[in-house]
Amino acid sequence: MEIFKTEYTEFQNFTDSIKQMVSDLSGHAGKDDLAGLEKLAENFKRKTDDFYNENRKLNIGVVGQVKAGKSSFLNTLLFNGMEILPKASTPKTATLTKMEYSENNVIQIEYYSAEEWAVLEENAVVNLEDEIYTSAREIVDMVKRNGIDPHPYLKKGIDKIEFGSYDDLLSRLNDYVGEDGMYTPIVKAVTLYLNKEEFKGISIVDTPGLNDPIASRTIRTKEFMEVCDVVFFLSQSGSFLDKSDWELLSSQLPQKGVKRLALIASKYDSGIRDILRVQDEDDIFGEDENTADNIPKACKIIRKKLRKRAKGKVGEFVKDLEQRGSTPELIEVIKQCEKPYMVSSLAYNMSGKPESEYSSEEKNIYSALKQFSDDMESDLKLLGNFDELKELFHEAADEKEQIFEQKAKSFLPNAKEELKGLLQSYLDRTSKRIQILESDDREQLLEQKNAIEKQMGAIKADIAAVFGELNAKLESEKAEGIRELRSAGKDYLDIRERSGSRTVETSHWVSDSKWYKPWTWGSGHTSYSSHQEHYSYCIAADAIENLYKYAIEASSHMEEVFTDALQLKEIKRKLLNVVVNNFDMGSEKYDSSLFRIMVEETVSAIEFPVFHLDISDAMNGIAGKFTGEITSASQKTELAAALSNAISKIYEELCSRLESTAKAFRSEMTAIGNKVQDNLLTNVTGEFESLLSQCENKEKEIAEYKVYAALLEKAQVGI
């Protein structure tokens, strides 16, 4: 990339300046401060080295939480709706999947290293419910259940498999990235090299997420995000831009150097179905602004709501960026999210094929929507809304060099802004310590410490109340989850009726007797004829597919019980407020800013468990009981009964697990509440002990802090 080489020299100078800064601050800065600067320089060098790679591709990332529909989105965008990329419904099976151009069609599989697998095995034997350990247990259990010895693959490191057709690709890929694939638990990343012209010069990545419980995969995802140029960010229409989505979008993406950012409200059909209703002729209230009796009107309502939410969230964030003095380039990237794209992969794919080819899931959707449509083909295209997005994708690929030029110019301003922010945080903390040591003597600090310790009783009671409220909410969410499990089961009881034809041969006896030839009397021959007969049949694969999809949906409902009850940021906010509100921050006894810093550090260190249940064993009940085409009414009835029984067993097992898991979860929350209380008291005591110790040699400590503060101010001026 010769046209940008002038910037490269400036980048090298910037990296060297940070190294010099680390050298100048050594002996005065703490090891954490120095490590923060070194990490910033390391990330900057990684991004710029990648950018100036001779074969640098345009990196396009698809980002979103699990269940946002990323795989379906990519299958529709890149493969005309064919299910090439299997769906991963839980974080443990999510794999970073990259797609690039190649003359030969090859699947490249990267397994965990022996060292990474050893860490997973160590985590798997830890009897804690933190997601790191539960996911490790699930992965190790999957390997045992699949009956494979992982070590030859770990030693091999990388496998390459050639394939000829998409059918061949799908059958092979599922083994490595499918939720129940044989080798999925030992695969860290997959690259698909495809002989597909539109992939030339670009690299497309389906990311597992930045909150992956498997540390090595998180690192790989973050490394990719550091060098990403274009991002399609998916947020479900039904929970559009919730707290988790917005935190990821606002804190992780633009600052990493992304130049094109498309916000996508996925699963648009689901959002539409939430407000569709049949208007009763006796309904004296008529329609309102939040419901509709036809799809076009529902689209108009939902589109307005989603755009309003996106514009509001973006507007708030832009104001914050402007107050912080962020670069105009960063602000412009965020503003691209003001107008989200509403899409439904499912509806778009349905609009391109006859109803007879619909899957059971598509039939259910069609049945739910058709009563609100005068023209289903037109309405499905309206819901799908993919043409504009495909155009955007091709525009990004065509504007590769323009995007690269923008990125080269923004590298240094973004990095300098990040460095200034880091140095300012160090300076704020140092100035606060100077202020405390200058204004407080040992007796005052002791008085402040004793007062705070006396107040801890009230704090503990209020913290217990926060967790009591959480447990009450969990009970409510548990009841709702059971209702959703029961309702979801009804959607998968119908088995697809297929049609076929067969050749039927018939025979009848033809007499050869002639009355005038007595010797032929009683003789004859068999005459044969054939005709085509049409019939309907079912196959066990469709019933198993229904069972599989119900298991996925039911598992999702299970997870939502806990994620809905446990709003992590909200709990942290409540805990922080409980502690801060228990003190008279206007009193001279308390240093409010120091105390707030201590509380924030304690609360931000809390990691709450997230539960994912493996229900694959319950899915095996129906497999192998039926083979071939099932044509008789009695066999069809038996298959339907087997499916119903299997769904009932899953439902019963999930209800039982939900009850036991909720009980364990409540115990875990109580333990965490106690831990929060203990940590607060420990941190408060420890901080004051440190300050008391420094008071023994107060003048020397103040002098050292002032030297460090002066060095930080000097470093900021030089940026």
**If you average pLDDT over residues 131-160, what whole number do you get?**
85
Judge whether residue 98 has pLDDT over 80.
yes
pLDDT for 571: 66
Residue with tokens 């809304």: 385
Least confident of 31-35, 45-49, 136-140: 45-49
Instruction: Give the confidence band of 569 by pLDDT, cuts at 50, 70, 90.
Output: low
588 confidence band (pLDDT: 50, 70, 90):
very low
Task: For residue 627, count CB atoms less than 10 angstroms from its CB and return exposed for 0-12, middle for 13-18, buried for 19 or more.
Answer: exposed
**Both structure tokens of 135:** 């996911």
pLDDT of residue 587: 44
**pLDDT tens digits, one per residue of 38-79:** 888 888 887 777 777 667 788 888 888 777 788 889 889 888
How far is the C-alpha of 644 from the C-alpha of 641, rounded, in Å?
5
Could you give the CA distance from residue 37 to residue 76 in angstroms, rounded to a whole number? 42
CA 552 – CA 560 distance, rounded (Å): 12
Query: What confidence score (pLDDT) does residue 332 get?
Result: 84
d(CA 88, CA 68) in angstroms, rounded, equals: 10
According to the model, what pLDDT value does residue 201 have?
86
**Given a cut of 80, is residue 351 above it in pLDDT?**
yes
Torsion, Cα 37 38 40 41, to 10 degrees, reads 120
* Of 107 and 274, more confident: 107
In this predicted structure, the answer to whether residue 407 has a pLDDT above a threshold of 50 is yes
Read off the pLDDT of each residue in 155-172 and give the average, rounded to a whole number.
85
From residue 116, how far is each of 68, 111, 131, 156, 448 by CA, in Å?
Answer: 28, 10, 17, 14, 47
* Over residues 286-309, mean pLDDT: 83
Q: Is the pLDDT of residue 328 over 80?
A: no
Mean of pLDDT values over 171-188? 83
Average pLDDT over residues 660-678: 71
pLDDT by residue (tens digit) across 476-519?
A: 777 777 877 788 788 888 887 877 776 667 777 777 777 767 77
**Burial category of 122 from C-beta neighbours within 10 Å (exposed 0-12, middle 13-18, buried 19 and up):** exposed
- Among 379-383, 519-523, 673-677, the range scoring the smallest mean pLDDT is 673-677
Q: In the predicted model, is pLDDT for residue 147 greater than 70?
A: yes
What is the model's pLDDT at position 380? Answer: 92
Residue 16 neighbours by CB distance under 10 Å? 11
Per DSSP, what are the bridge partners of residue 193? Answer: 100, 106
* Three-state SS annotation for 68-93: CCHHHHHHHHHHCCCCCCCCCCCHHH
The domain made up of 440-494+540-717 has a fold known as Four Helix Bundle (Hemerythrin (Met), subunit A) (1.20.120)
Average pLDDT, the chain: 77
Residue 280 DSSP code: P
**What pLDDT band is residue 158 in, cutting at 50, 70 and 90?**
very high
Quick check: 209 pLDDT over 70?
Answer: no
| Residue among 581, 662, 654 nearest 614 (CA) | 654
Average pLDDT over residues 99-128: 85
Q: Tell which wins on pLDDT, 531 or 428.
A: 428
Per-residue pLDDT tens for 624-656?
A: 566 667 788 888 888 888 888 888 887 887 787
* 240 within 8 A of 336, measured Cβ to Cβ: no
Question: What is the pLDDT at residue 589?
Answer: 44
pLDDT at 618: 47
CA neighbor of 177 nearest in space, from 98, 252, 121, 275: 98
* pLDDT, mean of residues 117-134: 75
Domain ranges for the chain: 1-56+401-439, 68-228, 234-398, 440-494+540-717, 498-537
Tokens of 487: 């309702």
How far apart CA 340 and CA 309 sit, in angstroms, is: 10
Residue 701, token pair as written in the block: 């400590």
H or E stretch at 233: strand 230-236
Distance in angstroms between the alpha carbons of the first and the last residue of the chain: 27
DSSP for 118-158 reads HHHHHHHT----SHHHHHHHHHHHHHHHHT---HHHHHH-E
**Whole-number pLDDT of residue 592:** 47
- Which is more confident, 529 or 70? 70
